[in-house]
């Protein structure tokens, strides 16, 4: 299944409390319960953006998740491959 990086513009998100982030995570998971072909792997929270990594059949499924959860979906980029330090060996 394709992997995607979703960029969510959310000014001030890096200042949210642990409780706020937990609530957002719970909302995302509750939406995903009804979307068995979409899997959230993890997210990176920065000062003003969240970068989420998902596996999904297509970009439309990612957009639907954002719409149902009330999350911005500003940019969706398909991951073509992954490299890491071991790639250099």
Residues in CB range of 87: below 8 A, 6 or more apart: none
In a domain, 86, yes or no: no
CA–CA separation, 77 vs 41, rounded Å? 15
Q: What is the pLDDT of residue 32?
A: 96
59-69 and 18-32 helices, crossing angle to 10°: 120
SS3 11: coil
**CATH code of the domain in which 77 resides:** 3.30.70.3090
Cα dihedral 24→27→28→30 (10° resolution): 160
Domain extent at residue 26: 3-81
Q: What is the pLDDT of residue 4?
A: 98
- How does pLDDT run across 29-61, given as a tens digit for each residue? 999 999 999 999 999 999 999 999 999 999 999
In a domain, 32, yes or no: yes
Q: What is the pLDDT of residue 86?
A: 96
In a domain, 75, yes or no: yes
In a domain, 87, yes or no: no
Number of domains in the chain: 1
Residues in CB range of 27: below 8 A, 6 or more apart: 69, 70
In a domain, 89, yes or no: no
In a domain, 20, yes or no: yes
Claim: this prediction has a pTM higher than 0.85:
yes
In a domain, 28, yes or no: yes
């Amino acid at each position: 299944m394709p992997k995607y990086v979703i960029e969510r513009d959310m000014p001030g998100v890096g200042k949210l409390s642990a409780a706020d982030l937990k609530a957002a995570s719970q909302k995302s998971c509750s939406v995903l319960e009804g979307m068995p072909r979409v899997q959230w792997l993890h997210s990176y929270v920065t000062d003003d953006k969240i970068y989420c990594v998902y596996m999904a059949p297509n970009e439309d499924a990612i957009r639907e998740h954002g719409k149902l959860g009330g999350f911005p979906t500003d940019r969706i980029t398909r991951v073509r491959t992954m490299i890491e330090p071991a790639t250099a060996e």
